[in-house]
Structure 1
Amino acid sequence: MSESPRSVARVRKSKGKGLRTRTGCTTCRERHVKCDETRPVCRACQRGNRPCQYTTAQPSLGSSDSSTIVYVPSTSNEIDQSTTIPAETSTTKTAALGTRHQHSRSVDDTYTAGVDETSMTYPDNRDVNQRIQSISANDNFGFPTLEPTALNTTSPASTASGHLYSAEVAPLRWLNLLRRDASASDTYPQGQGYADVDHSDSADQNQTTGHPSFTPVNVPGVRLRPDESYNIEGFLDLSDPESKLLRHFVEKISTWIDLTDRDASFASNVPTMALKNRGLMLALLALSARHQSLLLTTENANRPDRTVAVQYYHETLQYLQTAMEIPEYLKSDELLATVLLISTYEMIDGFESGWERHLKGVFWIQRSQLIHGEYGGLKQAIWWAWLRQDIWAAFRSHRVILSFYTLKKECSELDRWELTNRVVWLLGQCISFGSDSEVEAGKSNVQQRIHRAAFLTARLDEWWFYFAPYRTELPVQWPEGSAFKPIWINPPSCSAAVQIHYFARIMLAVHSPVVSGLKELERLQQTLNDAINYIGGVACTTTNTAATIISTQCLFAAGLNTRDLAKRDQIVQLLRAHQSCTGWPVHDLARDLQAEWAAESSPMTAGT
């Protein structure tokens, strides 16, 4: 009997590096050969005289096309030539050898978010600077692409995710958002009227040429040189109507932005800066003209048409496109002030979702320069003004605020102005606490949410204690038929701070989980009622324009959470009185409240 052949054990491939299918060149991965990933040709392909290819993604604006870099070594085991082959299908198609393709590494200008803003560092962006230098002025403002491939990254979705942009990249990203939205919503050729605008809320003006007496500040017709200053020598020459717009900004609008700034930077420093910087002046005039077009007072009978404001707005974007060629301008105070004025313009213009997107762009710019609420100077004032805008936008959208900066000082170290800013920051935390995302996340971790509510309540109690010496309440007679007892608090910044404090209390009372039964529920309801009464009482006596803006926001929050019909009626009256005083917002906020009340009382939501 013959001996059966001896069975040969199957030799299994190594589980080492050679079996990996995500690293190495394509040839080695297909052959399950260990690849040392040497470029342009790995050693395994060089020894075997095989083509060595690497597949890389070529990111482009709105595209996900890819290409394959193929390196074919010659018979003498030396690198010959290479060419780039488009990846048309899943099978790589090779083409005739062409000239050597210099494969450049895609520059990633981003870091993972979630780090402390005070310790962020950024890479060198020489390629971005070269791109900035190559941008030319576009006289017809046709909105060409500003984004190089290196900038084609996702925007931050929240405070805890997304990307950080360098100080050179962030302004370009923000300007691209503005240009794209302006191009999509408005068709405005330079030097002509703004024909397809709703003029129902503006003075009766010529819709073809705009207001005849308003001539925009001349924007430079040629591209600024990299070594040229973005500020002019001397001062800009303004026409009489433009001088009136500048005065209106200083006397009225600047108080909105300077509400919590002891230095009143936008009433004092910014106008002086604007007289030497065309872009800043254009943004200032756009904001002032738009605000005047909204006011319906007898003194403002000859107010400019909205066309004028839109014209200044587009000329501002033109100037920014040109001035951003100068690297120093990208980190200047002039740019930051211009950005804030444009954001304020869009807020009062009713830009809605576009304004929200642009707020995120402002967040990129400030974060790229490590600007925060304790930075100091004009940059700090701009940060706080931006935060107040973002808080309102976040409240209306039920989202978290964009900034996650944590203030370092204790309340005991703060003066009146710093305490006023502190309560703004606390309101931002409470807005985030009541956002849809945090409420949903709290369902799976109720205990953590209870601790968070207790922490914020303690911080508000602490703030109220230290702010007491600055809170002067004057006696006011309770008028007959009023649902709220009038409360007079002076000065206006303190009046706004108290209303903001109770706005934050409302957010906590509404969104805090109730786990200890009826007593806890009654306590939260009492807190809610007290906050509504205090906001309504202060609103009855608020006459300062800047404080009225804050009062409008707080009244809306109070109205959302009261079921008392008398209080609802008076809140509607107060909202409309506030809006006629400030011109903001452009739509009827009281009507939004009434829609919310109607939805609340409908049979579909009665059991919710």
Structure 2
Amino acid sequence: MADDAGPRRLRTRTGCLTCRERHLKCDEAQPVCARCQRGKRQCVQADAAKDSFRHGHNPSRNVQGFTNVRYGERARTFDGTAEWVGVPATLDFVDETEAVASGYAGSPASTAGDNSASTLSAQAALSPDGESSSAVVYPPRHRTLSSSSHLSRATSLRSPASNPQTSDIYRTQSHPSSSVHNIRSAGSDTASASQQLRAEENASSTPPETIVSSVQTKRLEDYEQAYLIRVFAEQWGPGLDSMDSDRHFTFEVQRRALHCPILLYAILSVSSLHLSRISNYDVSLAERYYEESVRLLIPMLTDPSNAEHANLLAATVILRVYEQMNVPMYGNDQECHLSGSTALVSASSPPPSIGLRDAAFWVYLRQDIYMAILNQRPMKVDLSSIPSPDAVCLTSQSSDCMWARRMVAIMAHIVAFCFGDGDKSVSKWDELRALAHDWDARKPNSFEPYYWRDRDVEAGRYWPDYWLTADWHVSGNLYYHHGQTLLLIYQPHTLPGIGGLRHRRKLEKDILAHARVICGICASNKLSEARRIAGHALFACGPFFTDRKEQSLILELLGSAEKENGWPTGTVVRALVEEWRGEV
């Protein structure tokens, strides 16, 4: 009984003070939270929150003294002889920097000199050939803001966001570590990042190969960061590029990251978090890189023109990967960066058919499909912003990647049919089924397996062998069979009586046939993206498996995705085990 558990512990509003000071989300465990335990820090607990305002901690309302001194061992009281001064109705708050402090001594020249030096430093960082790369090279824990950053920050506080639809998503929903940064984020780093974003975009109007050869590439001086970029290129780039033969996330974002701090820290955060999931790498480094990327990202969203920049959307989908990987830590997925990507896509024109922004759009669409299936909710993306399946590719001359993207576009409409609020008619279902069958019938021969062998239970092969050539062939086939399972599960046709029972048995048989192919493709092509797609596919069709050996193999497949690829599959595993009633 709930009454036997004793009084419920009141929830603190900010978690422990140690996490609050570091701008991190706290799980509020007592006496030591998980983050402090991992970081071997002293965990200073906060008081339980009862009211919106705690006047006991307000010095002006606590003249008798504060007996339970815990917050840094400071008593929150004013001396009885304290003198009070009048305060004007309108105030401008300006951080006291070295530049401001120098003005007290009557040395305006020194202030101007500091600002000029800061301006020259920022201009040098903007140039592709500039020598200054301090905004990129040093980790967040070593960086300091110049004096001009504080002055411009004070100015920005008096200017409302010009694009609240985009920026408010991060101000109200984002990772707790970013909520403290959104006021102190607009500075010289922000201005520099914005100008770098624009300069990078202008320089990237040519194909990636031309850019790499024509723009002088900066070099990282920090070995740790260089290593983390390599980890991203090897472990995450291929998966994000599973429908992009130009490999923008494997090659292009590395080059751009040398000139774009937002991209750099997004990449470093995912790489370091990945290593912490599969090894003993310090997770606090991932948190620092993540905080820095979000700190630079938030002010970018206040300018509507930034929605068109490829670097911004690419950084947001990379940060979304970080957000998804953190689900096991916090137990829920707020989808903040997915909402941020949605706002960027909605506020911009349709992406071109080539380039990083186009590649980032298709990554975002797959991320939205994943969460719509996992949460059985409508998709966030506006379907009108998705190229219609017929518009993606229609000829045999189209590239294999375009054919794979066409299947993803079809999949998006299937997911919208299953979980959205739109047309649920039989005719709409028939239309989607015809689109999927047409894709399967007309796809290039390269999508066929170069080796196939049917399952043989007696020989111990529970999944068919399904060997494919390239990543996009794997992803395209997985989405096709996944789409077929969803259409069968959400088929609107109903038959009464015995005929209905027979019809349902046939449906279950067809669903299992497609589900086994999904498992076979994933087992035969040990790609990280294949495992991620199979994860949300099995969330939908896994409950139809009744054979205990198959159930065990599915759990083994999902476990390998988490152990070897650092991808969280606990939600899917728990859901399947519950469906199977703990028989495994």
The answer to whether residue 372 in structure 2 is matched with residue 377 in structure 1 is no
Q: Look up the match of 1:38.
A: none
Q: CA offset at residue 451 of structure 1?
A: 1.0
Question: What is the Cα deviation at residue 324 of structure 1?
Answer: 5.6
CA separation in 2, counterparts of 1:249 and 1:222?
24
Shift of 1:174: 3.6
Residue-by-residue CA offset, 1:276-315 (whole Å, 9 max, x unaligned): 111211111111111111114xxxxxx5311100101111
Q: Is the 8 A contact 1:555 1:575 kept in 2?
A: no
Amino acid at match of 1:510: I
- For residue 177 of structure 1, report the CA deviation from its aligned partner: 4.0
Match of 1:425 in 2: 409
Change (3 A) 1:327 1:556: closer
Amino acid at match of 2:249: F
Cα deviation, residue 248, structure 1: 0.7
Cα contact 1:542–1:551 (8 A) shared by 2 = no
Report if the CA contact (8 A) 2:392-2:402 is conserved.
Answer: no
- Contact 1:170 / 1:361 at 8 angstroms: preserved in 2? no
For residue 307 of structure 1, the aligned residue among 284, 302, 307 is: 284
Q: How does 1:205-604 map to 2 (within 5 A)?
A: 224=191, 229-230=196-197, 235=218, 237-296=220-279, 303-321=280-298, 329-350=306-327, 354-372=333-351, 375-403=353-381, 404=383, 405-407=386-388, 408-409=390-391, 411-413=393-395, 414-435=398-419, 438=421, 449-467=425-443, 469-470=445-446, 471-476=448-453, 478=456, 480-516=459-495, 517-518=499-500, 520-585=503-568, 587=570, 589-598=572-581
> How far apart are residue 564 of structure 1 and its match?
3.1
Alignment CA distance shift 1:390-1:433 (3 Å):
same
Q: Distance in 2 between matches of 1:291 and 1:222?
A: 27
Secondary structure of 2:524's aligned partner: coil
User: 1:391 deviation in Å?
Assistant: 0.5
> Which has more helix, going by share of residues?
2
Q: Which runs of 5+ in 2 are unaligned?
A: 1-147, 201-215
d(CA) in 2 for partners of 1:453, 1:596: 27
Q: Match of 1:585, as an amino acid?
A: P
Structure 2 distance, partners of 1:263, 1:592, is: 37
Deviation of 1:326 (Å): 7.0
Match of 1:62 in 2: none
Residues 182 and 223 of structure 1, relative CA distance in 2, 3 Å threshold: closer
**Whole-angstrom distance in 2 between the partners of 1:425 and 1:459:** 10
What residue identity is the alignment partner of 1:224? A
Distance 1:292 1:241, change over 3 A: same
Aligned to 1:577, what secondary structure does the other structure show?
Answer: helix
Deviation at 1:361, TM superposition (A): 2.3
Greater Rg, structure 1 or structure 2?
A: 1
Structure 1 residue matching 2:468: 3-state secondary structure: strand
Q: What code does the residue aligned with 1:384 have? A: W
Following superposition, the deviation at residue 464 of structure 1 comes to 0.3
Provide the secondary structure at the position in 2 that maps to 1:224.
Answer: helix
**Cα–Cα, structure 1 residues 171 and 478, in superposed 2: closer, same or farther, change >3 Å?**
same
Q: Quick one: structure 1 residues 460 and 487, their matched pair in 2 at CA, closer, same or farther if it must change by over 3 Å?
A: same
Amino acid paired to 1:409: A
1:337, distance to aligned residue in structure 2 (A): 1.6
Q: 1:540 to 1:137 in 2, by over 3 A?
A: same
Maintained 8 Å contact 2:167/2:302: no
Tell me what 1:107 maps to.
none
Partner of 2:48: none
Match of 2:142 in 1: none
- Structure 1, residues 470-524: CA drift from partner, whole Å, max 9, x if none? 2124045858333323322222321222121111111111111233444643543
TM score, norm. by length of structure 2: 0.61
Does structure 1 conserve the Cα–Cα contact (< 8 Å) formed by 2:414 and 2:432? yes
**Is this contact kept in 2: 1:226–1:327, CA < 8 A?**
no
Question: How far is the alpha carbon of 1:567 from its aligned partner?
Answer: 2.0
Instruction: From the superposition, tell whether residues 239 and 371 of structure 1 become closer, same or farther in structure 2 (CA, over 3 Å).
Output: same
Q: Aligned partners of 1:311, 1:281: CA distance in 2, in Å? A: 12
Q: RMSD of the TM alignment (CA)? A: 3.7
Q: Distance in 2 between matches of 1:227 and 1:513?
A: 50
The equivalent residue for 2:58 is none
User: Which amino acid is 2:440 matched to?
Assistant: W
The 3-state SS of whatever aligns with 1:505 is helix
Provide Cα deviations, 1:548-603, integer angstroms capped at 9, x if missing partner.
Answer: 3223333333313323333222211221123222110163642331023229x9xx
Following TM superposition, by how much is the alpha carbon of 1:331 offset from its aligned partner in structure 2, in angstroms? 3.2
| TM-aligned CA distance change 1:227 to 1:321, over 3 Å | closer
The 1:266/1:515 distance shift into structure 2, 3 A limit, reads same
Secondary structure in 2 aligned to 1:409?
helix
Q: Distance in 2 between matches of 1:174 and 1:252?
A: 29
In 2, are the aligned partners of 1:340 and 1:386 still within 8 Å (CA)? yes
Counterpart for residue 207 of structure 1: none
Compute the TM-score of the two structures, normalised by the length of structure 1: 0.59
Distance in 2 separating the partners of 1:171 and 1:138: 24
Question: Are the aligned partners of 2:481 and 2:518 in contact in 1 as well (CA < 8 Å)?
Answer: yes
* Cα separation, 2, equivalents of 1:353 and 1:339: 19
Number of matched residues?
A: 403
CA–CA separation in structure 2 for the residues paired with 1:464 and 1:290: 38
- Paired residue secondary structure (1:472): coil
